[in-house]
Structure 1
């Protein structure tokens, strides 16, 4: 409460209030004076409330204040009771009601000014429904709502412009630059129009150019739409791939998992989560709250001087010495306490180890989650690069072994190809040599046929031989195809018979296996149904436990807040009791100096000082009233004198300007005479 009063007095003594209060004078204000101070603060927030509360009725004052406090969204504190108690305290000017209001208003003055300004335009007037039946009233109300919405939009734009940091000079420079560019563009357009006017069918060409520009803009728009759709398609494909990968992993996990393993894993997770909820997190929360309370105490404490620091250091030294003495005394006790302390140390070590392991487990889980995210990203990148699925585990091993086999086959084939290419080169050379010899022999044969007179004989002989050879080849092929077909039929019949004989025992073995498979699938369906029901029961139990934990945490937080609130009330009551006791002690004390320190004596002295000050101010007011008429007359005479002197000054300047003009005219005439 004292900090609250200090803050209020400090703010009231600054601009724009300048009240010149101290804690005593402010605390000794009458209810009407306190209400006037509250009204002055409200007038600073909203100038409509700058009135003297002595000139209006108390109910009107309270109604006006409650209205502005409702607009500013002030919520009365819990210690002020309900709304009727708050209203009654505001009527009578109660300090426990007005001090929190002043503290709240002075804390958020700038924010509340903005809220009060917006409330003048945004607080909706409630029109009764029977009046809205009239068309004029309904139309006016609709226009009113539209104007309100426009005001909201304009206010947001204004705030954005204010926060954007653009100055008026920059805007003016931009406007001037844009105007210059506009002038240049208009000039260029005029020049181009003059040049185009001489061209035939320029209107037709302009229309075609306009259509071309529109089509290009449409093409750009369509290309942008195409790009956005392609991006959406790519993102959808990525999501689909991620979902398929997750589905595959979940199916693999479900195929490899058993109900016992899942139950065990769920029990471990429940144990870990219950340890976190019941032991680890409450300890951390308690430590955070303890540090927060210590920091709040440090913040609420006044500034410390060097003497306070030395005193605290001495207290710390004394406490440390006491702790050392207690430790030595404890070490001298019987060995049973030593055993208990040893067990306590072991328990503390185990608890610390447990906490460290829990933290390591949490970090490991987070690391696993991060690694899974990285793996998913890498898989997506690999799919984007080549579009194929990434192999893992046994599939990758099989792929490597298959690749090795293919590489050995590739090496063999490459070696065979090298040998065949070398042999092909030799054969090509042999063919060329033989062709050359054959051509040479043909030339010799043709010369000999010409000499003998039987030219063309070799060609006809070769043609006959070629035709006979073709006929023999066709006959051989026909015979071979018939033989091959008969052999193929025989082979197929023998292979079918062999397969039937080989598959007969396998089919006999397969029949009981099929029956067993049906039984196993039925058993699997039953077990799966049991597993699903068990998993649903465990999930419901887990949700119930989570709800219980949340409710217990809320109860704990409520109990802690109530505990702190009761402690604060207790401390404030103790301080009031202590102040009351000190006041009684000082008031009853026979010592006059001690009695002068009492608050009552201070208040009486302050009242006497204020009465003397009031008397002096009334005397000053009386003297000012008596001399007011003479002073106003003197002021009027002085203003008339100023006007007279200003008139004389203007006349003098006018005469001086006329004289200088005549001199110039005279000098000009002399110059003309000289010429």
Structure 2
């Protein structure tokens, strides 16, 4: 039922209805509104059904819809009791009755339009008995019936003729059964493909609509009622979480790939710098513990440095204060010297003391520098002699190894040139062999295809020879049954039948051409008669209604007289 409702809503939202329904609004329609929707769908199939149900009696509505559904060959499921239930449900606008009707109508609207259009010309009109008393109406009705019976007889004869032609073929029943199954399966395949596409579109649209409704309800802070809405909300939340997790997983995979690339790059750089491998396992643990111990030592040193920096700041501040104090004292001393008349005495004294101190320091430094330089030269000379004595044997070995390396390099170059020449020759031979193998394979494939083609031709010729032999035997045979089986006899028979059929069709064409004018005139007379009947019917109904009203008025007057 849910699939039916989805399909109905989707079809009603499209052209030419454009109802703009969703599952909730459509399911909440009142019976009268649902009947109006059914009437609109029927009006799309047959424009005569375009009626406002508010201006029509329920009995007339049910009769009108049932008559059109009967013309359209709609068959509700169930037996006779269900048929009565169907009629009753159609009158009251029952959803279990109307939903299947809408689903059936919307699935095949174009086909039903054609059927409803042709029904006006194919359905026999029910002429009331009082109208049949007119001789013209009775004669026209009889002529119409006789013409339809003649057409029916002609169609039956044609069908029988075609059956006889087909029955002569071999495996007639089997071929007929296979053709019927093929037609049924093709129709079923087309229907399933159409239904699958429609369901996909409906599932996508419904999911979008459900998400929109859930978002609207969540924005309005309204409680989501019903298990179905709860499940839909949970499903949408789970799907969103799943999509988010999938995105996170993809991002993590991309990040892992980039980190692996970066790690491989770092490993290569490390190998280039120091030629060592990246630590793994226990070595990495030991390295981490060593780093931790170093970090503790670094933290202690850093703390000591911070304390020293703080003490340095204090000392620097003390120095600044002392300098300021010294400057103040110097200013006071200069003022006192100016008062005593010996200005500049303290500055000159300080300069002399400073210069003498610098001279003594320079002399002492020169003496220490010369001694240090002489000692350093001695140490370097002794160290160089030790290194020379230690490297003498190594230099000898290095010379021998260099000579050997030159010899090996020369030999390697010779071997490489030999290898290159040999590889070039092998490569050229390999390319030649590959071309030859490719050519031989192509020839093999051509010969195989030629062999299969020859075998097929031989089989075809054998079949043709067998057929010709059988045809010759059947043609020469004295048995009439065998002669009838011959292809020549069958073709001769078919040609004769086709000639007879063409002759009959030409005669029929001649009859149709001769009777076209009278038939068109008769059709016009029939439409005029139909219009006349409709007018008489309306007059008759109007007369009956006026008679009933007069009787009611007369009875009301008698009642007033009695009172």
* TM-score, normalization by structure 1: 0.30
* TM-score, normalization by structure 2: 0.35
